[in-house]
């Protein structure tokens, strides 16, 4: 993206590696140098990113445009890969979900979490396929013994999709769009053909995909609960509404036009406040550490 969170992550990794070298008694003059690559889609605002680079950084930094589902770097080029809150984005809405003739067709909703099993499976399969593409590309680029630090928002193995905080929120957003369809502001077909390309994985699903891919050992896998905020419900609702608008505005604008956005998020904010999402919604991050196998 455009920073500044990314610089915190980079600094943590650089310091951890330097600490390890120093604790092993390496001479100061023999410490490694760091070349960092910041990746995002070619349409990301790299100009803003480059303007905000920390001035006194102890690493070199380049921007690497392109999709991480495919190859970005030469063979055996990377030692540590860090990806945070990115792999939950699917490369596309699963095709069956948009196919009127498929049992996975997602009529009257914009998300999978309260949909039928076929729709949920289509999303889960797409997530697994995308993660496999990511791992396959990185497997060529990461040296043997190299690491991938992977963070995604997720859920525990036992929590149903319908209890995930973000999933409940997306379902509420979908119901707001259906309300607008009923009022004739947008067409119902427009809602049927819109689906959010995000999936919240469980540790078991993540592990199964890493195993099937075969290139990496899963050194560590944790499901970390996020801290609850102490804000009031209206404050929380506003924060969630802003957050989701920031993430989805681009897609919503493209599909429905920008005119509906203010009204949509006003009603979303209102429904959030009245909902049980802040009592029932579960928020977890999955943290996985993967090590490239020796070939």
Binding site for a second copy (CB under 8 A): 33-35, 37, 42-43, 45-47, 50-51, 53, 60-65, 71-75, 77
CB of 49 to a second copy, least distance (A): 9
User: Would you list the DSSP string of 104-130?
Assistant: T--TT-SSSTTS-HHHHHHHHHHHHHH
CB of 7 to a second copy, least distance (A): 14
CB closer to a second copy, 53 vs 185: 53
Rounded to whole angstroms, what are the CA distances from 171 to 153, 188, 247?
A: 17, 16, 15
CB closer to a second copy, 71 vs 236: 71
- What backbone phi and psi angles, to 5 degrees, belong to 292? -65, 125
Rounded to whole angstroms, what are the CA distances from 288 to 33, 147, 154, 159?
A: 25, 10, 12, 19
Nearest partner of 134 among 288, 22, 294, judged by Cα: 288
CB closer to a second copy, 4 vs 160: 4
CB closer to a second copy, 32 vs 234: 32
Rounded to whole angstroms, what are the CA distances from 228 to 120, 173, 182, 262, 286?
A: 27, 22, 35, 28, 17
User: Helices (H), strands (E): how many in the chain?
Assistant: 9, 6
CB of 65 to a second copy, least distance (A): 4
Quote the distance between the C-alpha of residue 2 and its chain's center: 15
CB closer to a second copy, 72 vs 149: 72
CB closer to a second copy, 41 vs 220: 41
CB of 81 to a second copy, least distance (A): 15
The CA-based dihedral angle spanning residues 252, 275, 171, 167, taken in that order and rounded to the nearest 10 degrees: 100
CB of 91 to a second copy, least distance (A): 17
CA terminus-to-terminus distance, the chain = 33
CA dihedral sign, ordered 242, 243, 245, 249: positive
Spatial neighbors of 184 by CB under 8 A, at least 6 apart, are: none
CB closer to a second copy, 65 vs 145: 65
Strand partners, 211: none
CB closer to a second copy, 21 vs 46: 46
CB of 76 to a second copy, least distance (A): 10
């Amino acid at each position: 993206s455009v920073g500044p969170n990314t610089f915190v992550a980079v600094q943590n990794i650089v310091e951890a590696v330097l600490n390890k070298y120093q604790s092993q008694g390496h001479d100061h003059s023999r410490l490694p140098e760091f070349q960092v690559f910041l990746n995002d889609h070619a349409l990301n605002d790299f100009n803003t990113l480059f303007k905000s680079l920390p001035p006194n950084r102890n690493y070199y930094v380049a921007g690497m445009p392109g999709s991480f589902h495919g190859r970005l770097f030469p063979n055996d080029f990377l030692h540590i890969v860090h990806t945070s809150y990115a792999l939950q984005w699917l490369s596309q809405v699963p095709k069956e979900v948009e196919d009127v003739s498929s049992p996975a067709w997602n009529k009257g909703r914009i998300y999978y979490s309260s949909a039928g099993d076929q729709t949920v499976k289509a999303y889960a399969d797409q997530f697994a396929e995308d993660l496999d593409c990511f791992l396959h590309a990185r497997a060529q680029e990461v040296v043997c013994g190299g690491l991938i630090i992977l963070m995604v928002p997720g859920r525990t193995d036992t929590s149903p999709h319908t209890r995930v905080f973000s999933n409940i929120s997306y379902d509420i957003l979908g119901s707001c769009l259906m309300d607008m369809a009923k009022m004739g502001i947008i067409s119902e077909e427009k809602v049927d053909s819109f689906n959010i390309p995000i999936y919240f994985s469980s540790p078991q699903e993540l592990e199964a995909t890493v195993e099937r891919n075969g290139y990496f050992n899963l050194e560590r896998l944790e499901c970390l609960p996020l801290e609850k905020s102490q804000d009031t419900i209206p404050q929380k609702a506003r924060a969630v509404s802003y957050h989701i608008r920031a993430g989805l505005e681009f897609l919503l604008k493209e599909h429905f036009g920008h005119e509906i956005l203010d009204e949509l998020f006003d009603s979303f904010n209102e429904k959030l406040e009245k909902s049980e999402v802040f009592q029932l919604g579960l928020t977890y991050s999955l943290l996985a550490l993967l090590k490239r196998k020796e070939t």
